[in-house]
Amino acid sequence: MSVPTKDQWSSQAYQHSAAFVPKLAGKVVQWLDLQKDDVVLDIGCGDGVLDAQFADILSQGSGSLHGVDSSPKMIQAAKVAVGDAGNCMFEVIDCTELASVPGLQDGHFTKVFSNAAMHWILKPQEKRTEFFRSVREALAPGGTFVFEMGGLGNVSEMRMALLMATARRIGLEKAQQVDPWFFPDEDWLTTVMEEEVGGWKIERIEREWRPTKADKGGVEGWLRLMGQSFFDAVPGTEREECIRETVDVARSVCANPSGGEMLSYLSSLPNQIWRYSGDVADFVDGQIEKVADVVRTTLSSSPWIPDNIRPSPPPQNPILIVDASRLGMLQAWVVRNKVVIGVGAVALGLISYRVYKNTRHHRKSRKARRSKRNGGRVEVVVIAGSPDLPLTKSLALDLERKGFMVYIVCGGSEDESCVQNISRPDIRSLTVDVTNPPSATLAIERFAAFLKAPYSPVPRARPDHISLRAILLIPALNYQTSPIATIPPSSFADVFNTHLLHPIVTIQAFLPLLTARLHPVGEKQTPPKVLVFTPSIISSINPPFHAPEATVCSALAAFTEVLTAELRPLSIPVTHIQLGTFDFSSFTPIKSPAGDQVLPASSWPENARMAYGRNFVVQNESAISGGKVRGMKGSSLKYLHNAVFDVIDGSNTSSTVRIGLGASVYGFVGRWAPRSLVTWMMGMRKVDELSSWQSSSSEGSLNESDDGETSPQDFVTIPPDSRIVANVWKEP
């Protein structure tokens, strides 16, 4: 808007084809932060649409506005837009010649503003540094220059259409000479203002792409208004043809599939602040003002100065009462609590991710592979566990429902009867007497021959090869709960034999089957998985009075690690399933009897009762005793079934899987919590007095302490309560 040679502008044409320009100035006006007492210079003010808004603010105080533009028509339109506002004046001035206007170089403007004009003003190369120098001289020390202009790449499609159409008629060099625009980038502006001109401090500079829908005049109206200097350079006989060619090209490029035409406005500086560097002057002024205030305050309170010449004290700074809206209060709270909000956002993201992952996990389709030849079952799972255990029954029924052929290892006729009572055709017994090695070897060989031979589910169906997918090792899960001193050596031997040695011998019997090729040579064979199940709550924290379970489970965990290391080179994965508490109410009677292997509390010696009785009772009454969280129902078996299937099908390749209520929590507590804190939470307290020594030939127990006094209240009678010794794996 600053080209002085010819007034090409028309306020009517501008409103018809470029009315969106002042509407895009929201950001730059915000950064101007106009106050009622500001003295503003608007460079390239145009038709005064923004100045009318500025006038309303300045009229509330002592502020004023001086608008300059090279177009008399636009200056007249600006005067009409502002009206009779006494604080505004407009003047026709070539903005490249600001230095020649003395009234604009006296440094009395607090703010200088320019919107969508400087890419016209800076076209003459020799005037660029002079322009920025003249703006600097117009500003008061510490003043602000806020401007918006077209950036590098602005309206590139329109500019290309104008250059191509014009260059075909007058040549490219002349077409570039009549190009009225200069679109710099951020680096150029920074270099010129801070280094070449000097005295500027750039606080903010940005470039923003703003695709804008054309006004009512469309692409043609915009080209006739903004590109008039191109068309004026074309001979009159070819001018209209050049316009039509330019419009056709621009329309094809700017056409919007949704309707209308889009212009690619690329604002190099949508919201910049350029501040004149008066830091030294500001510092000096501030120090002088402080000294003056101190002197004035001292003199105003001195009694020896006559009243008629005593200065009044400096005015107190007014206390501003801010009526903050809810939005403002919310924004202030966010600024004060960034850390809390950040942590909350991260936590919310993690929770959302876990919910999404769990939802996908539960919706996953879990079915065993079927034969392509006959549609029958071809994947076999062996469960090496007692058939009367609720865990064995639950896993067998679920795997059979998912399409596996399930074989439960049986040691005798009683186990086979339990399997038959399940009454499922694809849950079968596999008799392997591991206490008789020759018999066990023959049983494994027969089972291997069955796996190698083609299998047909029904007569006259096409046979197919079946594959062993997994072996599930489930040791006995009922353990004696009692102090070590009260457990007979024979009970320890029985527990180690049935709970530790028997599982080890069982998996040892199946190792030749695991490490052999059962499929014909040439066919791809998926190695079977080995899953070892152990209860993890007690073995994680090793509480008092649970020596058998803690010892056996720790030994099985070590055995599983060694087995994993030996089978890893053979690509046979071993997974340790560490179990929490589950709801087995559908697999157990309403009231389960106490385990047969439990030593009754009534058979404890008197000295054991006095030494361990109180802590034993309190611990078993605590909320976290017995391998479960008292008062809370166990986890649903669905989670266990899904976890086992995911290990079998290979979607979960972890070497250790914790599943069930309390498994992860107790594992964390056992790893990180102090042992003394865990025992204290379970009710363990110091025993102050012990019973007197008594020989093995003594009858009964002495109720006297070491000083010979009788203390009948120093021991606790322990009733043979089944709740104390109940097995969590058999209780509902």
Question: Could you tell me if 294 and 359 lie in one domain?
Answer: no
At 81, list the tokens: 């837009």
Please give the average per-residue pLDDT across 212-223, as a whole number.
73
Which is more confidently placed, 358 or 299?
358
Confidence of residue 41 (pLDDT cuts 50, 70, 90): very high
Which of 664, 686, 707 finishes a domain? Answer: 664
The most confident of the ranges 145-159, 399-413, 537-551, 627-641 is 399-413
- Indicate whether 359 belongs to any domain: yes
As a whole number of angstroms, the distance between CA 285 and CA 462 comes to 101
User: 463 and 454 in contact (C-beta within 8 Å)?
Assistant: yes
pLDDT at 204: 84
Does pLDDT of 728 surpass 50? no
- Three-class SS of residue 559? helix
User: 552 and 596 in contact (C-beta within 8 Å)?
Assistant: no
Strand stretches in 432-521, DSSP E? 467-474
Please give the average per-residue pLDDT across 410-439, as a whole number.
90
Q: Is 490 exposed, middle or buried (0-12, 13-18, 19+ CB in 10 A)?
A: exposed
Number of separate domains in the chain: 4
Distance, first Cα to last Cα, the chain: 87
Region of 182 on the Ramachandran plot (φ > 0 left; ψ -120 to 50 alpha; else beta): beta
Does pLDDT of 275 surpass 60? no
Q: At what angle do helices 72-82 and 49-58 cross, to 10 degrees?
A: 40
Residue type, 223: L
What CATH number has the domain bearing residue 402?
A: 3.40.50.720
Question: Could you tell me if 152 and 239 lie in one domain?
Answer: yes
Q: Which of 367, 497, 513, 402 lies closest to 452 in space, CA to CA?
A: 513
Q: What angle do CA 150, 155, 160 make, to 5 degrees?
A: 130
- 228-237, 288-297, 575-584: least confidently modelled range: 288-297
- Indicate whether 428 belongs to any domain: yes
450-497 pLDDT, tens digit per residue, is 988 888 888 878 888 889 999 999 988 888 788 888 888 888 888 888
pLDDT at 179: 87
Question: Could you tell me if 283 and 264 lie in one domain?
Answer: no
Does pLDDT of 440 surpass 80? yes
Which is more confidently placed, 407 or 715?
407
At 204, list the tokens: 């903010």
Question: Could you tell me if 530 and 564 lie in one domain?
Answer: yes
The sign of the dihedral angle between the CA atoms of 201, 204, 205, 211 is negative
Confidence of residue 726 (pLDDT cuts 50, 70, 90): very low
Please give the average per-residue pLDDT across 300-309, as a whole number.
65
* Structural Rg of the chain based on CA atoms: 46
Does pLDDT of 283 surpass 50? no
Please give the average per-residue pLDDT across 277-288, as a whole number.
48
Pairing of strands 208-213, 574-579: unpaired
Residue type, 690: L
The most confident of the ranges 160-169, 272-281, 530-539, 591-600 is 530-539
Residue type, 221: G
As a whole number of angstroms, the distance between CA 229 and CA 441 comes to 101
Residue 67, beta-bridge partner list = 42, 90
- Three-class SS of residue 592? coil
As a whole number of angstroms, the distance between CA 110 and CA 139 comes to 6
Question: Could you tell me if 401 and 383 lie in one domain?
Answer: yes
526-549 pLDDT, tens digit per residue, is 889 999 999 988 888 888 888 899
Question: Could you tell me if 282 and 271 lie in one domain?
Answer: no
Q: What is the dihedral of CA 702, 703, 705, 709, to 10 degrees?
A: -120
pLDDT at 362: 64
CA atoms within 13 A of residue 403's CA, in its CB half-sphere:
17
Which is more confidently placed, 315 or 266?
315
Does pLDDT of 557 surpass 90? yes
Confidence of residue 717 (pLDDT cuts 50, 70, 90): very low
Confidence of residue 398 (pLDDT cuts 50, 70, 90): very high
- The set of residues, in sequence order, having a beta carbon less than 8 Å from that of 337 and lying 6+ positions away, is none
pLDDT at 718: 40
Q: In what order do the strands lie in the sheet with 200-204?
A: 88-92, 64-69, 39-43, 109-115, 139-148, 273-276, 200-204
The DSSP symbol for 64 reads E
Please give the average per-residue pLDDT across 108-120, as a whole number.
89
- Indicate whether 700 belongs to any domain: no
Q: DSSP alpha helices (H): ranges in 568-674?
A: 606-621, 637-648, 663-672
Does pLDDT of 412 surpass 90? no
Rounded to 5 degrees, φ, ψ at 259 are 115, 145
Domain of residue 551 covers 379-456+463-593+632-664
pLDDT at 273: 37
338-370 pLDDT, tens digit per residue, is 888 889 999 999 888 877 776 666 667 889 888
- Three-class SS of residue 69? strand
- Give the helix, strand, coil percentages of the chain, each rounded to 5: 45, 15, 40
| C-alpha distances out from residue 350 to 354, 357, 359, Å | 6, 10, 14
**H/E run at residue 218:** helix 218-226
As a whole number of angstroms, the distance between CA 99 and CA 96 comes to 8
Please give the average per-residue pLDDT across 288-293, as a whole number.
58
pLDDT at 244: 85
- Three-class SS of residue 87? coil
Question: Could you tell me if 399 and 354 lie in one domain?
Answer: no
Which is more confidently placed, 108 or 675?
108
- The set of residues, in sequence order, having a beta carbon less than 8 Å from that of 205 and lying 6+ positions away, is 186, 189, 190, 269, 272
Which is more confidently placed, 251 or 717?
251
| C-alpha distances out from residue 290 to 284, 296, 298, 510, Å | 10, 10, 12, 93
Please give the average per-residue pLDDT across 695-714, as a whole number.
44
pLDDT at 504: 93
Residue 661, beta-bridge partner list = 581
At 657, list the tokens: 């899987």
Rounded to 5 degrees, φ, ψ at 256 are -100, 125
User: 266 and 152 in contact (C-beta within 8 Å)?
Assistant: yes
pLDDT at 419: 92
Confidence of residue 720 (pLDDT cuts 50, 70, 90): very low
- Indicate whether 38 belongs to any domain: yes
User: 407 and 381 in contact (C-beta within 8 Å)?
Assistant: yes
Question: Could you tell me if 430 and 539 lie in one domain?
Answer: yes
Does pLDDT of 632 surpass 80? no
pLDDT at 620: 72
- Indicate whether 263 belongs to any domain: yes
Question: Could you tell me if 47 and 29 lie in one domain?
Answer: yes
161-171 pLDDT, tens digit per residue, is 888 888 888 88
Question: Could you tell me if 257 and 301 lie in one domain?
Answer: no
Please give the average per-residue pLDDT across 504-522, as a whole number.
84
At 526, list the tokens: 């998926």
As a whole number of angstroms, the distance between CA 383 and CA 393 comes to 10
CA atoms within 13 A of residue 472's CA, in its CB half-sphere:
28
The structure's pTM equals 0.49
Region of 683 on the Ramachandran plot (φ > 0 left; ψ -120 to 50 alpha; else beta): left
Question: Could you tell me if 270 and 299 lie in one domain?
Answer: no
Residue type, 200: W
Q: Give percent of the chain above pLDDT 90.
A: 23
- Indicate whether 89 belongs to any domain: yes
As a whole number of angstroms, the distance between CA 37 and CA 31 comes to 16
At 686, list the tokens: 């110091």
Please give the average per-residue pLDDT across 42-69, as a whole number.
88
Does pLDDT of 36 surpass 60? yes
Q: Is 393 exposed, middle or buried (0-12, 13-18, 19+ CB in 10 A)?
A: buried
Question: Could you tell me if 559 and 430 lie in one domain?
Answer: yes
Confidence of residue 263 (pLDDT cuts 50, 70, 90): low
**H/E run at residue 173:** helix 172-177
What CATH number has the domain bearing residue 224?
A: 3.40.50.150
Mean pLDDT of the chain: 78
Confidence of residue 288 (pLDDT cuts 50, 70, 90): low
Pairing of strands 139-148, 273-276: antiparallel
pLDDT at 289: 64
pLDDT at 265: 53
The sign of the dihedral angle between the CA atoms of 15, 17, 23, 24 is negative
Does pLDDT of 198 surpass 80? yes
